[in-house]
Amino acid sequence: MPLSVDAIKIVLGISEEEIPLDPDEMAKKLSVTFYPIEGHIVSERVLDFSEKLRQTLSDLGVNIIPYEKALVSVTKSLMFRRYFYAFLNNIKILISGIFGVQTTENYITLKVLSKIKKGKKVRKGIRIISLGEGSTGNLPMDNVQSFTDSTVITILDMPEHIDETTDFSVHFDTSFKLFAYHMTNIIIGVGEKNWILYNFNASHPIYPLDINLKKNVLYSLIPKIAAPIRPPSLAEFTIRPEVFDVDAKKNAPFVNDLVESGHILEKTGLFLQGKSIHELSFRNEFYEWVGRIHLDHRTGMSFGFLARQLPVKLPLVWSEAEAKEKFSQKINSGEDYFFAEGKIILRFDTGFGKLYVENPEEVWVLTQRSGANKTRIDPHKDIIKMGICKGKMMLETPRGLKLLSYYKPSFDTKVILAHALGNVIIAALLKKVKKDSKFSVYLEEKGMAISHWHGYINPEHIPVGWHVYGLENPPVSCSSPQSAIYAFQGKEKAFIKSLSDNKEYLGDIHIEPQHGTNIVYTSLRELGGFLNSNKNISSLGNKHLVNYK
């Protein structure tokens, strides 16, 4: 039996009470409304697809709410809070300027505030499906109670230059132009024979119009709506300001690996230049402001990540007999976790019987701030030290660096930490059952590298000792709690299978469908060497995904 979701949530510090992990479960928890098409430019093709989609969603158990019943009156207090927030924001920027502190936030002018519509709005939690091109000032995003708790899906005609042969970079640029212009989270493009699905995962699955619509909606569209992108905010972390010494001798091997691997990894072509908020096609200042809110006031979005997990003393592990002697009745509760001596003890069922492991006290990772150029970083400005300590996300900022507004953690923070914590637990279990485990020794002495890019490794080039998982998972958005849970669950299953197959465990390759690949490797330099050793190992987009079975 794999570790329960409740146990995973506790060790990863995931606070959401309900996290649907199965597409059928996701669909039944969704509420959707269709935005009125008056004043929109809508083709017959889009209209026809929307009717099929409406019926399909209904058949899948999605709660479809008439638009008028989805509305709620916006209180005066909410409008006051927005004006008061704007005032505080402007004061903060003014003070930052006086003291010479950089900020990515912009002044919120009365011109911008005047464009916030009054009257009834779509209430929080209801997803909005919009058809065709709407007019400025009357887009769904103009009519939501919350800019961040509402997901908009826009159905358009397929762009004329897009088809099954279009390369990744064209899809990438096209999708972001459409996101910004239509102020939407998801784009569905409808062609004569196919439909395409764009979201911020930088993926572009294309499906036939008249084949398996229900299946493709359930297993591709539903997960993206149910688990939307929500970038982590600094408020989610316990922050220790200016305590991380980038120049300390003990940190040098890991900082150097992050910095010096850049030119090697840049040659792979897998790490994209990001999208700046300034280069996106917003129609006016108001929509750009809303876009900034969606990104938690980041300067834009970068894609992929490089992370260096720090060495860690592995936690204690007990056999079932040892655990019964030490913990007595606590292990008879039927749960796969319990608390003892102020610590969380986890139970794993392996080919070597039940093993009990102490949840690691601290797990730390060096990675790059959101928006940084991944392959050309300034170690004193771009490196973030983050960790998970007793179920709490932690962040240490470099000495001499004030907590600036551009210093934000990666969208993939929860996935990074899930991999890092999972690595430590698996290394501890391996050390218990296989004394000569290279993975355990390496992690304890030298740490590990964790990386992500928006492509897949050719299955013919999987290195010996690396284990692949994740292909069957729903394609949720990065930053969602589901993505972190899938990472942890899959790593555990891959490890246990390696034991049952008597195969060495050196690392893993976590496939995120319609997103990309996460890999645990010995170092970033060595990862770069591996990826550059053969031009057919990996590429951006879905080229190699179809070769997995």
Task: Tell me the pLDDT tens digit for each residue of 155-214.
Answer: 999 999 998 889 999 999 999 999 999 999 999 999 999 999 999 888 899 999 989 999
Residue 26 has pLDDT above 80, yes or no: yes
Q: Which two tokens stand for residue 83?
A: 């004006």
User: How confident is the model at residue 154, as a pLDDT?
Assistant: 98
Task: Tell me the pLDDT tens digit for each residue of 462-472.
Answer: 999 999 999 99
Question: Considering only CA atoms, which of 198, 217, 168, 210 is closest in space to residue 56?
Answer: 217
Coil, strand or helix at 381: helix
Q: Which two tokens stand for residue 192?
A: 């004569």
> Rounded distance, CA 380 to CA 332, Å?
50
Task: Tell me the pLDDT tens digit for each residue of 329-354.
Answer: 777 667 899 998 888 999 998 878 89
- 484: exposed, middle or buried (Cβ count in 10 Å: 0-12, 13-18, 19+): buried
Q: Which amino acid is at 29?
A: K
Q: Which amino acid is at 409?
A: P
Residue 114 has pLDDT above 80, yes or no: no
Out of 39-53, 101-115, 145-159, 435-449, which region has the weakest mean confidence (pLDDT)?
Answer: 101-115
User: How confident is the model at residue 241, as a pLDDT?
Assistant: 85
> Rounded distance, CA 166 to CA 171, Å?
7
Task: Tell me the pLDDT tens digit for each residue of 390-401.
Answer: 889 999 888 877
Task: Tell me the pLDDT tens digit for each residue of 529-549.
Answer: 999 999 999 999 988 988 886
Q: What is each CA distance from 180 to 139, 187, 239, 254, 315, in whole angstroms?
A: 12, 11, 32, 37, 47
The residues pairing with 518 across neighbouring beta strands, listed in sequence order, are 452, 510
User: How confident is the model at residue 333, as a pLDDT?
Assistant: 66
Residue 442 has pLDDT above 60, yes or no: yes
Coil, strand or helix at 155: strand
Task: Tell me the pLDDT tens digit for each residue of 370-420.
Answer: 878 888 998 988 899 999 998 899 998 888 776 666 678 888 999 999 999
Contact call for residues 195 and 49 (beta carbons, < 8 A) = yes
Q: Which residue has the higher pLDDT, 259 or 81?
A: 259
Task: Tell me the pLDDT tens digit for each residue of 35-73.
Answer: 999 989 999 999 999 999 999 999 999 999 999 999 998
CA angle 457, 461, 466 (to 5 degrees): 80
* DSSP designation for 464: T
Buried-exposed string 137-168: b where 16+ CB fall within 10 A, e elsewhere: eebbbbbbbebeebbbbbbbbbbeebeeebeb
Q: What is each CA distance from 467 to 86, 220, 285, 399, in whole angstroms?
A: 50, 25, 47, 38
The separation between CA 395 and the C-alpha centre of its own chain, rounded to angstroms, equals 18
Residues 6+ apart with CB under 8 A from 327: 338, 340, 345, 356
Please state, for a pLDDT cut of 90, what percent of the chain lies above it: 66
Tell me the pLDDT of the chain averaged across its residues: 90
Mean pLDDT of 113-135: 90
Buried-exposed string 190-202: b where 16+ CB fall within 10 A, e elsewhere: bbeebbbbbbbbb
Coil, strand or helix at 516: strand
User: How confident is the model at residue 104, as a pLDDT?
Assistant: 59
Residue 94 has pLDDT above 80, yes or no: no
Question: Considering only CA atoms, which of 371, 360, 235 is closest in space to residue 309?
Answer: 360
Residue 264 has pLDDT above 80, yes or no: yes
